[in-house]
Amino acid sequence: MHITQNKLAAIETLRRFPAAMTAKVAQLSEAQLTEITPADIWTVAQVIHHCANSHMNAFIRLKLVLTEEMPPLKNYDQDAWAVMADDKSANIEMSLAILRGLHARWVMVFETLLDDAEIWQKEGVHSSDGPMNVTHLLFGYQEHCEVHLAQVDRIIAALA
Ligand code: NI
């Protein structure tokens, strides 16, 4: 029961993330979105594009684990992605739109698993982190959402 409550809380974090991130950055100018601050090597825009990158990869990993036996889960070079032109763009709406649609689907998938105790142990093999199960693919990304919301708070506090 305790675990189920934790899963519900984690799913709720995923459900709220796109709106929570959108609300934090709604008042920022394009210059502020792309301002390098002393607080971080990434700008607010880079963090938002990174969340879209990361969560697209996470959704693909989840679908692979649920539909295949021990599928390989590919890593990606997040720092290399983060300096590509689309990741440095002030146009955060394109990634917020990805996050809105993606998180709605991600939440729907996790909610369908709640009644199946065994599926949460189903695994894939991550290319650098080793075996990774469905439970990890939920709680790991709850933490990821929280880490990057806090990171955006720090960057906003450090804007000129
Ligand atoms: Ni991250």
User: What is the Cα–Cα distance from 142 to 9, expressed in whole angstroms?
Assistant: 9
Cα-to-centroid distance, 54 and ligand 1 (Å):
7
Taking the centre of ligand 1 as the mean of its atom positions, its distance from the CA of residue 111, in whole angstroms, is 23
For residue range 144-160, what is the model confidence (pLDDT) as tens digits? 999 999 999 999 999 99
Q: Is the pLDDT of residue 4 over 90?
A: no
CA distance 124 to 68: 8
Distance of CA 53 from the midpoint of ligand 1 (Å): 9
The pLDDT of residue 5:
87
What domains are defined for the chain? 2-157 (1.20.120.450)
Per-residue model confidence (pLDDT) at position 1: 53
CA dist 150 → 24, 94, 107, 142 (Å): 10, 21, 22, 13
CA of 70 to the centre of ligand 1 (A): 24
Rounded average pLDDT over 46-56: 98
Distance 145 CA to ligand 1 centre (A): 8
Q: Taking the model in full, what pTM does it have? A: 0.96
